[in-house]
């Protein structure tokens, strides 16, 4: 049950005995919910809808892990985090995992002691300009005023890009996406820059999306992925292989529609191992045999999640691009389930 206010006060008074440190998996199971850090609102990736339900691509990742570990895709506490608060939230144990458009970089992995468990979206920083500005390349942006949504690696990439091209610019850093849009739409800045996926999501919400173009240049590599704390390898494995299960399922053609059929046994041993009808992969993770079935039951495989939240049929309208399976010329390549 929820620790009462009084107990909280006791802990403050320093009287609560610190329990011996258990693994994150045990914590999550004991608690019965997964605490998942998401962004404060980026349509398509993580945003609460009109009835307060969180939905989006990153949210789907959280639900998949909850389904694998707890057997209930709704046993997730979504913790909205800003660019500033996300790392402390994870490091201090407030969240068990972070699924919040976080770029995998050397210093975050090594210096901040986090473990990126894979890439669920290959992104890159792009520029959006109003069509009537008459700009067709980012190289023509010398002297422009650029709205930046702060809180990711955006500021650094932007500084590098303009410096290496010997151009000047005026940065306008804005905390939230909604306010950055307001500035951009009012013409207080000429350009809006953030991850290309974010640009597409933002453009989709405009009254007149056709009046804005995303420039062809992608100025950075932004591999976005879920991350966990360093040191708890078992938990890291669970998050990593939940993501891999989603990717592999698409590669093997396992969808939410044909899952029941696949789970009853197929000729493909890898599908069987994924579905838990062959081998003991689930037990090795510390879960049961059918964990991956539950993961896929939440929102289908990677491709289905993509299409449902950010794909071309949604207002966001992102093409698969780099995020297609390796067989289709993309970068998604899950290690084998064996």
Q: Which of residues 179-198 bind other proteins (CB under 8 A)?
A: 179, 181-183, 185-190
Question: Should residue 18 be labelled a site residue for other proteins when binding is judged by CB under 8 A?
Answer: yes
Interaction residues for other proteins, span 290-329 (CB under 8 A) = 315
Interaction residues for other proteins, span 93-122 (CB under 8 A) = 93-94, 108, 111-113
State the Cα–Cα distance between residues 135 and 184, nearest whole angstrom. 15
Question: Should residue 169 be labelled a site residue for other proteins when binding is judged by CB under 8 A?
Answer: yes
Q: How many residues bind other proteins (CB under 8 A)?
A: 93
Question: Should residue 51 be labelled a site residue for other proteins when binding is judged by CB under 8 A?
Answer: yes
Query: Looking at beta carbons only, is 112 or 289 nearer to other proteins?
Result: 112
Q: Which member of 23, 29, 173, 278 binds other proteins (CB under 8 A)? A: 173
Pick the stretch among 58-66, 155-163, 255-263, 326-334 that binds other proteins (CB under 8 A).
155-163
Question: Should residue 174 be labelled a site residue for other proteins when binding is judged by CB under 8 A?
Answer: yes
List Cβ neighbours of 161 (8 Å cut-off, separation of 6 or more). 138, 219, 220
State the Cα–Cα distance between residues 147 and 181, nearest whole angstrom. 9
Query: Looking at beta carbons only, is 179 or 288 nearer to other proteins?
Result: 179
Tokens at 271, concatenated: 């599908």
Interaction residues for other proteins, span 249-288 (CB under 8 A) = none
We find the least distance from the C-beta atom of residue 52 to other proteins, in angstroms, to be 4
Question: Should residue 42 be labelled a site residue for other proteins when binding is judged by CB under 8 A?
Answer: yes
We find the least distance from the C-beta atom of residue 265 to other proteins, in angstroms, to be 38
Question: Should residue 62 be labelled a site residue for other proteins when binding is judged by CB under 8 A?
Answer: no
Pick the closest to residue 45 from 88, 97, 84, 99 (CA basis): 99
We find the least distance from the C-beta atom of residue 142 to other proteins, in angstroms, to be 7
List Cβ neighbours of 250 (8 Å cut-off, separation of 6 or more). 301, 302, 303, 304, 325, 332
Question: Should residue 14 be labelled a site residue for other proteins when binding is judged by CB under 8 A?
Answer: yes
State the Cα–Cα distance between residues 278 and 273, nearest whole angstrom. 5
We find the least distance from the C-beta atom of residue 262 to other proteins, in angstroms, to be 35
Question: Should residue 10 be labelled a site residue for other proteins when binding is judged by CB under 8 A?
Answer: yes
Tokens at 101, concatenated: 């458009």
Q: Which member of 68, 99, 158, 271 binds other proteins (CB under 8 A)? A: 158
Question: Should residue 164 be labelled a site residue for other proteins when binding is judged by CB under 8 A?
Answer: no
Query: Looking at beta carbons only, is 207 or 267 nearer to other proteins?
Result: 207
Coil, helix or strand at residue 77: strand
Q: Which member of 71, 231, 265, 336 binds other proteins (CB under 8 A)? A: 231
HSE of 8, CA atoms in CB hemisphere, 13 A = 5
Pairing state between β 222-224 and 121-123: antiparallel
Pick the closest to residue 323 from 273, 250, 257 (CA basis): 250
Query: Looking at beta carbons only, is 186 or 267 nearer to other proteins?
Result: 186
Phi, psi of 200 (to 5 degrees): -65, -45
Q: Which member of 156, 211, 260, 319 binds other proteins (CB under 8 A)? A: 156
Can you list the positions of beta strands (E) in the chain? Answer: 34-39, 47-48, 54-55, 76-81, 97-98, 114-116, 121-123, 125-130, 144-149, 169-174, 191-195, 212-214, 222-224, 227-229
Q: Which member of 29, 72, 82, 279 binds other proteins (CB under 8 A)? A: 82
Q: Which member of 229, 240, 273, 294 binds other proteins (CB under 8 A)? A: 229
What is the helix (H) or strand (E) element at residue 66, kind and residue range? helix 57-70
């Amino acid at each position: 049950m929820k620790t009462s206010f009084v107990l909280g006060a006791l802990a403050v008074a320093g009287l609560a005995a610190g329990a011996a440190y258990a693994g994150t998996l045990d914590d999550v199971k004991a608690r019965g919910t997964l605490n998942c850090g998401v962004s404060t609102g980026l349509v398509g990736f993580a945003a609460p809808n009109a009835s307060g339900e969180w939905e989006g691509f990153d949210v789907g990742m959280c639900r998949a892990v909850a389904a694998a570990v707890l057997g209930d895709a709704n046993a997730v506490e979504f913790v909205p985090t800003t660019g500033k608060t996300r790392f402390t939230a994870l490091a201090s144990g407030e969240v068990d995992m972070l699924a919040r458009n976080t770029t995998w970089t050397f210093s975050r992995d090594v210096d901040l002691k986090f473990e990126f468990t894979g890439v669920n979206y290959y992104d890159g920083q792009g520029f959006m300009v109003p069509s009537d500005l008459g700009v067709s390349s980012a190289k023509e942006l010398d002297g422009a005023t650029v709205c930046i949504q702060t809180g990711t690696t955006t500021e650094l990439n932007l500084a590098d890009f303009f410096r290496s091209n010997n151009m000047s610019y005026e940065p306008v850093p804005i905390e939230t996406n909604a306010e950055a849009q307001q500035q951009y739409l009012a013409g207080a800045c000429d350009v809006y820059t953030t991850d290309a996926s974010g640009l597409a999501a933002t453009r989709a919400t405009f009254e007149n999306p056709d009046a804005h173009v995303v420039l062809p240049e992608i100025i950075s590599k932004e591999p976005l992925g879920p991350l966990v704390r360093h040191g708890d390898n078992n938990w890291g494995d669970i998050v990593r292989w939940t993501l891999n299960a989603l990717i592999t399922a698409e590669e093997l053609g396992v969808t939410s529609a044909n899952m029941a059929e696949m789970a009853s046994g197929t000729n493909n041993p890898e599908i069987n191992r994924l579905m838990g009808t062959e081998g003991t992969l689930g037990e090795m993770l510390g879960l049961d045999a059918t964990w991956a079935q539950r993961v896929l039951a939440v929102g289908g495989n990677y491709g289905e999640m993509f299409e449902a939240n950010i794909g071309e049929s949604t207002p966001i309208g992102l093409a698969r691009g780099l995020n297609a399976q390796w067989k289709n010329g993309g970068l998604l390549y899950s290690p084998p389930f064996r």
